[in-house]
Amino acid sequence: MDLLKKIREKKAVVGIIGCGYVGLPLALEFAKKSFHVIAFDIDADRVRQISNRISYIPDVPSAELGACIENGTLEATTDFSLLSQVDTISVCVPTPLRKTRDPDVSYIVESLARITENRRKDQLIVLESTTYPGTTREVLFPELEKKGEYEVGADYFLAFSPERVDPGNPRFNIVNTPKVIGGMTPACVEMAEALYGSIVDRVVRVSSPESAEIVKLLENTFRSVNIGLVNELALMSHALNVNIWEVIDAAATKPFGFMPFFPGPGLGGHCIPIDPHYLSWKARQFGFEARFIELAGMVNGSMPHHVLSRIAHALNIQSKCLKGSRILVVGVAYKRDVNDLRESPALDVMTLLEMEGASLSYADPYVPELRLGSTLYQSIDIGKKELLKSFDCAVIITDHSKLDYRHLLDVLPKIVDTRNALKNIPSREKIVSL
């Protein structure tokens, strides 16, 4: 049976490489639509957890995962020789930055090595990891062509399709978020469209893998630049003694031509602080300086320092200083209602506070412990009034919805609110805003 027919009849075996925030929900979605899915990961512990029907990704309910493991539609493995048994391969591995802030595509290269060792004719390979324009054509394609045994668009199919998952978003998920696809040949696009069209409501074709690669970078650069703009306005409004959140809410009543973005303690997560640098790195190779990206990076990167100065102000009001004060950091995940700490601005703020000699604790219902340098912190229970009373100040970095902010306000002398979490509290004496 040819590959297109196999995919359309859901008889194709779907392979997913990388079972993280992106790969595991994707594997589950294909399994729920009755494809047989083999999920690959180098992390034996993750594979064991999946096989034991335990989900470590909040958006993936263990019950749904367990049902697919039980009925045999989903299996997980560290055995990459099984790649020869799959018909499609979606690559969902990390793409971080190096210390020099250059792209680190080593995880993609490593996955590619495993694919080339174990591939066979008639497979569709789709890169989903966020990366710089040209990765599919300049990194994947030459390796897949090296032996000269298979022809792209005839013997195998290669495409790029960016993952757009927004962890913790109750409204948009894999199914109702359109999937963009750019293939090496029209047959590659057709194949990838058939695959993803069987799990998502809408597939959007673009003319090349490069366009699809840039689509994702544009989306995240758009966010980074707009957040940079409101962060700059927040700093300005602070000087002008104007409430920036009130300004944004009022501006957002305009029914056209405006989209609200909100200031905060800095960027976090695996995407927005990182992806724009993939684009500016590539642009630099063509002698082009991506000025908006750099400027937004500078403004957003300065926010943890601004937060530090607001904490110093909150202490100053009490005739105290940072050194030796007891500070409670409330919410450390990079955004509301998730357990992901990657690139979280809380880590920057905590590092700055440690450098100033403050004594730190944190509370986050989603993050039981965190390591900062050589110190292992454990989340405290903010329900314990006596414990809370010992702090000089709290700083809300992440506004998780299940935290009891009124209780915090009752007990603590000052709270620095970087997220406007306390907007509905009429009495403002204890609150220092961003």
Ligand X SMILES: NC(=O)c1ccc[n+]([C@@H]2O[C@H](COP(=O)([O-])OP(=O)(O)OC[C@H]3O[C@@H](n4cnc5c(N)ncnc54)[C@H](O)[C@@H]3O)[C@@H](O)[C@H]2O)c1
Q: Which positions are catalytic? A: 271
β-strand partners of 204? 180
Longest distance between any two alpha carbons in the chain, whole Å: 78
Helix axes 62-70, 44-51, angle to 10 degrees: 80
Compare residues 282 and 306 and give the one whose CB is closer to ligand X: 282
Can you read off the two tokens belonging to residue 276? 């724009």
Q: Which long-range contacts (CB under 8 A, 24 or more apart) does 249-252 make?
A: none
β-strand partners of 415? 394, 431
Q: What is the DSSP letter of 376?
A: E
Contacts (Cβ under 8 Å, ≥6 apart) of 138: none
Q: What is the DSSP letter of 103?
A: B
Residue 70 burial (CB count, 10 A): 10
Spatial contact of 179 and 161, defined as CB atoms under 8 Å apart: yes
- What is the distance between the alpha carbons of residues 225 and 300, in angstroms, rounded to a whole number? 9
Closest residue by beta carbon to ligand X = 20
Compare residues 110 and 201 and give the one whose CB is closer to ligand X: 110
- What is the distance between the alpha carbons of residues 336 and 332, in angstroms, rounded to a whole number? 9
- What is the distance between the alpha carbons of residues 128 and 162, in angstroms, rounded to a whole number? 5
Compare residues 272 and 421 and give the one whose CB is closer to ligand X: 272
CB of 187 to ligand X, least distance (A): 25
Compare residues 17 and 60 and give the one whose CB is closer to ligand X: 17
CB of 370 to ligand X, least distance (A): 16
Look at the chain and count its residues: 434
β-strand partners of 123? 156
> What SS3 state is found at 77?
strand
Compare residues 169 and 378 and give the one whose CB is closer to ligand X: 169
> What SS3 state is found at 57?
coil
CB of 310 to ligand X, least distance (A): 28
Phi/psi at 181 (nearest 5 deg)? -135, 130
Q: What is the DSSP string of 277-302?
A: HHHHHHHHTTT---HHHHHHHHHHHH
Compare residues 109 and 321 and give the one whose CB is closer to ligand X: 109
Where along the sequence are the contacts to ligand X (CB under 6 A)? 17-23, 40-43, 46, 92-95, 107, 110-111, 129-130, 163-165, 167, 270-271
CB of 342 to ligand X, least distance (A): 8
Contacts (Cβ under 8 Å, ≥6 apart) of 202: 178, 179
Compare residues 370 and 393 and give the one whose CB is closer to ligand X: 370
CB of 213 to ligand X, least distance (A): 11
CB of 30 to ligand X, least distance (A): 15
Compare residues 93 and 330 and give the one whose CB is closer to ligand X: 93
Spatial contact of 276 and 296, defined as CB atoms under 8 Å apart: yes
Contacts (Cβ under 8 Å, ≥6 apart) of 140: 108, 112, 125, 127, 158
- What is the distance between the alpha carbons of residues 418 and 103, in angstroms, rounded to a whole number? 30
